[in-house]
């Protein structure tokens, strides 16, 4: 069972990046933000980050851990792991198809 | 920076403010981050159901009570200014709006400010007694001064609950209570019993209603725990915090 991120609207893409970032282990807001910027190559604003974190937490895809000082780490739940895997599999199929078609038309 | 965080709903801040501020300290926001935070705040208000702990609808009650109180007060005094021949019919709105103003105060906030609320109520009661004594200059001065203290006090308590800072509260007090008093006192003292053709003078009390509309809107947007809500982060008295 997994959840669709499509219903998250403008937060769908940042949410996927956050889930991928947390696939490497629990992390807090600032670390997620810098990691996502590294993965995606574009900056993620704090409002977008926390808008997406709140939605992911609400849907049970991530969970908050006990705060460390003022930082609060988040980790992927089992549902979150299944969801991100399904999303990446779907993207993988999409990318393979796209590349194959490009390759077929290449001169 | 923290001013922008204040744009988020109370319930959101109860949950995320500390870690959010910690993040902003680690990475000072750029101009585009600030715009992003404003968008985030708008989103948090428009989609409370998307928050990890959505704001209960009961959190809006104090704000709506204050808003209705301000609207009723304003309507009554607008009527006094523009349709004073028939405005006395609307005079009944004033005590109702005052009741709503008091009803907008209790909540988790009450634990911290209960004594001040009780004093304000007592002063209002005393003023009602004094104002109904036979007219004389001392009773008029005492009655009006008491009302000003009570009205200013209640407005200040609501403004603290709506998280309006000290400078904002002073601005409200000056514009809604002190300035109208400076203008209205000499006029009112000379009138004795305010007759129908001079009722428009009561227009000086109009800014007080507008101030409550402003505070009510702000309180409704931010939300605040009522007596039926479990307090999350009871507001501490500012003096204690200082």
Q: Is there a single domain that holds both residue B63 and residue B181? A: yes
The answer on B62 and B51 residing in a single domain is no
- Determine whether the interchain pair A33/B23 forms a contact, defined as Cβ–Cβ distance below 8 Å: yes
Q: Do A58 and B51 touch (CB under 8 A)?
A: yes
Domain carrying residue B36: 2-55
- Is residue B231 domain-resident? no
Which whole number is the average pLDDT over A2-7?
Answer: 70
Q: Please report the pLDDT score of residue B35 as a whole number.
A: 93
Q: Check residue B208 and give its pLDDT.
A: 92
Q: Is A105 within 8 Å of chain B by CB?
A: no
d(CA A46, CA B34): 8
pLDDT tens digits, residue range A8-35? 778 888 999 999 999 999 999 999 999 9
Please tell me which of the candidates B23, B39, B43 has its beta carbon nearest to residue A30: B23
Domain membership of residue B228 (yes or no) is: no
Whether residue B46 is found in the same domain as residue B142: no
Predicted pLDDT of residue B241: 42
| B203 and B88 co-located in one domain | yes
CB contact under 8 A, A67 and B12: no
Q: Could B19 and A70 be called an inter-chain contact, meaning their C-beta atoms sit closer than 8 Å?
A: yes
User: pLDDT tens-digit profile of A30-86?
Assistant: 999 999 999 888 889 999 999 999 999 888 889 888 888 888 999 999 888 988 898
Residue B135 maps to a domain: yes
User: Cβ separation of B23 and A57 shorter than 8 Å?
Assistant: no
* Distance to chain A for B5, nearest Cα, Å: 10
Are residue B146 and residue B177 in the same domain, yes or no? Answer: yes
Same domain, B137 and B124: yes
Domain holding A26, by residue range, is 6-105
Q: What is the pTM of this model?
A: 0.60
Smallest Cα distance from A102 to chain B, Å: 36
Is the same domain home to B77 and B107?
yes
pLDDT of residue B150: 80
User: Of the candidates A28, A46, A51, which has its C-beta nearest B33's C-beta?
Assistant: A46
Residues of B with CB under 8 A from a CB of A: 12, 16, 18-24, 26-27, 29, 32-33, 35-41, 43-44, 50-52
Total count of domains within chain B: 2
Together in a domain, B84 and B196: yes
* Residue B194 counted as domain residue: yes
Residues B69 and B20 in one domain: no
Q: Which residues of chain B have pLDDT under 70?
A: 1-2, 52-55, 84-88, 108-114, 116-117, 128, 131, 185-200, 229-242
Domain total in chain A: 1
Residues B51 and B65 in one domain: no
Can you give the CATH number for the domain in which A84 is found? 1.10.10.10
Q: In chain B, which residue's Cα lies nearest the Cα of A44? A: B33
**Which pLDDT value is given to residue B54?**
64
Residue-level pLDDT at B108: 65
Q: Mind giving me the DSSP string for chain B?
A: -HHHHTTS-HHHHHHHHHHHHHHHHHS---HHHHHHHHHHHHHHHH-GGGSSSPPPGGGGHHHHHHHHHHHHHHHHHHHHHH-TTTGGGGGGHHHHHHHHHHHTS-SHHHHHHHHHHHHHHHHHHHHHHHHTSPP-HHHHHHHHHHHHHHHHHHHHHHHHHTT--HHHHHHHHIIIIIHHHHHHHHHHHHHSS--GGGGGGGGGGHHHHHHHHHHHHHHHHH----TTSPPSSPPPPHHHH-
Whether A33 and B27 lie within 8 Å, measured CB to CB? yes
Q: Does A1 map to a domain?
A: no
């Amino acid at each position: 069972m997994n959840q669709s991120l499509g219903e998250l609207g403008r937060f769908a893409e940042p949410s996927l990046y956050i889930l991928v970032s947390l696939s490497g282990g629990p992390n807090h807001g600032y670390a997620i933000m810098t990691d996502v910027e590294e993965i995606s190559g574009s900056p993620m604003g704090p409002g977008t980050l926390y808008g997406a974190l709140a939605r992911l937490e609400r849907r049970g895809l991530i969970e908050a851990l006990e705060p460390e000082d003022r930082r609060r780490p988040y980790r992927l739940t089992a549902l979150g792991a299944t969801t991100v895997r399904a999303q990446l599999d779907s993207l993988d199929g999409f990318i393979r198809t796209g590349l194959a078609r490009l390759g077929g038309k290449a001169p | 920076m923290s001013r922008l965080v204040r744009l988020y709903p109370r319930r959101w801040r109860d949950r995320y403010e500390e870690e959010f501020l910690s993040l902003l300290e680690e990475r000072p926001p750029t101009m585009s981050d600030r715009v992003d935070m404003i968008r985030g705040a708008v989103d948090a208000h428009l989609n409370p159901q998307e928050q990890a702990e959505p704001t209960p609808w009961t959190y809006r009650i104090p704000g709506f009570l204050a808003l209705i109180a301000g609207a009723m007060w304003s309507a009554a005094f607008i009527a006094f200014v523009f349709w004073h021949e028939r405005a006395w019919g609307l005079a009944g709105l004033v005590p109702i709006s005052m009741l709503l103003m008091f009803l907008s105060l209790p909540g988790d906030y009450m634990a911290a400010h209960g004594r001040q609320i009780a004093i304000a109520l007592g002063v209002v009661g005393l003023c009602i007694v004094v104002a109904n004594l036979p007219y004389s200059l001392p009773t008029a001065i005492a009655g009006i001064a008491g009302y000003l203290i009570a009205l200013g006090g209640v407005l200040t308590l609501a403004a603290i609950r709506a998280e309006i800072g000290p400078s904002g509260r002073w601005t409200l007090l000056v514009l809604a209570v002190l300035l109208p008093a400076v203008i209205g006192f000499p006029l009112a003292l000379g009138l004795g019993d305010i007759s129908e053709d001079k009722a428009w003078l009561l227009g000086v009390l109009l800014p007080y209603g507008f101030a409550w509309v402003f505070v009510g809107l702000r309180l409704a947007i931010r939300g605040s725990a009522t007596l039926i809500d479990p307090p999350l982060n009871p507001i501490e008295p500012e003096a204690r915090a200082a």
